[in-house]
Amino acid sequence: MEKTYLDVAKSWLGQSFDAATRAEVAELIKGDPKELEDRFYRTLEFGTGGLRGVMGVGTNRMNKYTVGMATQGLANYLKQLFGGKPTSVVVSYDCRNNSRFFADITAGVLLKNGIKVYLFEDIRPTPELSFSIRHLGCNAGIMITASHNPKQYNGYKVFWEDGAQIVEPHDKNIIAEVEKITDPSQVAFNDDPALKPVMIGEEVDKAFLDSIYTLMLSPESVKRHSDMKIVYTPLHGTGSRTVYPFLAKMGFKNVIHVPEQDVNSGDFPTVVSPNPEEPGAMKMAMEKADEVGADLVLASDPDADRIGVAVRDGEGKITLLNGNQILSILFAYMLERWSQLGKLKTGDPYMVKTIVSTRLADAICAKYGVQLYSVLTGFKNIATIVRENEGRRIYIGGGEESNGFNPGDFVRDKDSAASCGLLAECAAWLMDRGQTVYGYLQEIYEEFGYYKEGLTSIYRTGKEGAAEIQRIMKDYRANPPKELLGSKVVEVIDYLDTAKTGLQKSNVLQFLAEDGTIVSVRPSGTEPKIKFYFGVTGADADAKLERLKEQFA
């Protein structure tokens, strides 16, 4: 008979678990049944990228046992795949509570399984972890982070030897091995003080910054405007390790801090959520810009892969840019500079975006005759295109609507250091033209048309919430909308239909209307929510967007 959540909880009272865990589980069993169910109704899923969840005791939580069991499954797969060959993994972690603890657990299990481990001496960003895998010649990498999630979360991202997050067949093969580990007694936790990782730090930092420095396109503009005021905040995270030194290396001499947010803290004391997409997270930096008279505000999330950007609008007000606007500016800047420098003439260059990102990127690439790939959501899919074209074509850059961008192929994930550097350099180049970043965006709209995008998320937590999200997707498949804002839906794309899309199977629906309006529906892979992405064009795009949000609320 299938175990109930209570049966599973009681199994955590056994000797495989430490005394503190057993005591906490005993108290939970006496307490709120709903809380107990949420912690034990399932095993925290090791998805295609790894683990992510709320920290705490239970099978559906991030803790030493779920992390240890995931690592044992990964170790078993690495041993199967590489046999008796020397195998190595690099481990990094961000500022979140318990990140170093989970990193040490991870390193210990790998070491006990005979796998060499490189461990960063202190917090480092996800993009540097991605870079370090190839730099050190490792077979895999692990990043302990929950990215931009709230403070109660942590996570565990697995990267492969190319520096990208795992994809087929490795993701499914690792999941299969992880699912075989059903009890902590199967985990080789490290009890040997002689087994220690190789500690790394400054040498990798230097190699990383030296590499992305070669991506600069307008060094003379930076030299002329080296005193440009830039406000940057790491939002308590790892960006302090790479973005500050990279902007300095580029030559920017007037980078202004938000001191309260330079403090590395998993409690994120100055923000409700450390997500640079959200106005609340950017508030202090934007206020600092007004205080000091800066025209550019930059930020990064806790693991410093995605960015936040604010600039002065036509009326002089500091205004937050969304991910699609950032992507459009960087696409336009990079392609214009590559064209001016004659770099588009060789190497058959290309760019990449995701299917839910702005179609303005398509128009910009078409102008320069550069191929643009559209891939499924997630930067690992952008990295797959880079891997498939390696040695044959030149990757200029790629991005996604959720504030992730990466120029060049040194990193195989989104990178805040390179992206912040590129935006600051773009601002300096525009100053040479007597123009602002906001003015440049308006120029792009004037040339290609006004594109407006939006996002609505519906949160549904717990077991019932997960089931409801699946019901919503099922209903939209059975009864797709006939119209979007009065315009007839002319195409429905179901990304479960790989024969039609030519992409891997994904639980995404897109509705395309006659007038160019597009709506994409997708359950989040990392949070308990379903996302609705909207894209509209035309002079009345702002009004259209609000009406769409009402239709799909």
Distance, in Å, from the CA atom of 424 to the CA atom of 296, rounded to the nearest integer, reads 8
At residue 453, what are phi and psi to the nearest 5 degrees? -125, 155
Specify the pairing of strand 230-233 against strand 198-200.
Answer: unpaired
Give the rounded distance of the alpha carbon of 270 from its chain centre: 22
CB 453 within 8 A of CB 533: yes
CB 130 within 8 A of CB 411: yes
Instruction: Please state at what angle helix 462-478 crosses helix 33-40, rounded to 10 degrees.
Output: 60
Q: Which strands, in side-by-side order, build the sheet including 116-120?
A: 50-54, 153-160, 140-144, 88-93, 116-120, 198-200
Q: How many C-beta atoms surround the C-beta of residue 168 within 10 A?
A: 10
C-alpha to C-alpha distance for 238 and 125, rounded to whole angstroms: 5
Q: Is 147 designated active site? A: yes
3-state secondary structure 376-444: CCCHHHHHHHHHHHCCCCCEEEEEECCCEEEECCCCCCCCHHHHHHHHHHHHHHHHHCCCCHHHHHHHH
Q: Residues with Cβ < 8 Å from 498, sequence gap 6 or more?
A: 504, 505
Stated as kind and residue range, the H or E segment containing 262 is: helix 259-262
d(CA 3, CA 288): 55
Closest CA to 489 of 429, 419, 417, 551: 551
| Dist. CA 394–CA 414, nearest whole Å | 17
Residue among 92, 99, 130, 147 flagged as catalytic:
147
Give the C-alpha separation, 172 to 156, whole Å. Answer: 16
- Count other Cβ atoms within 10 Å, centred on residue 453: 23
Phi, psi (degrees; rounded to nearest 5) at 543: -65, -40
Q: In angstroms, rounded to a whole number, what is the distance separating the alpha carbons of residues 457 and 551?
A: 13
Which residues are the active-site residues? Answer: 147
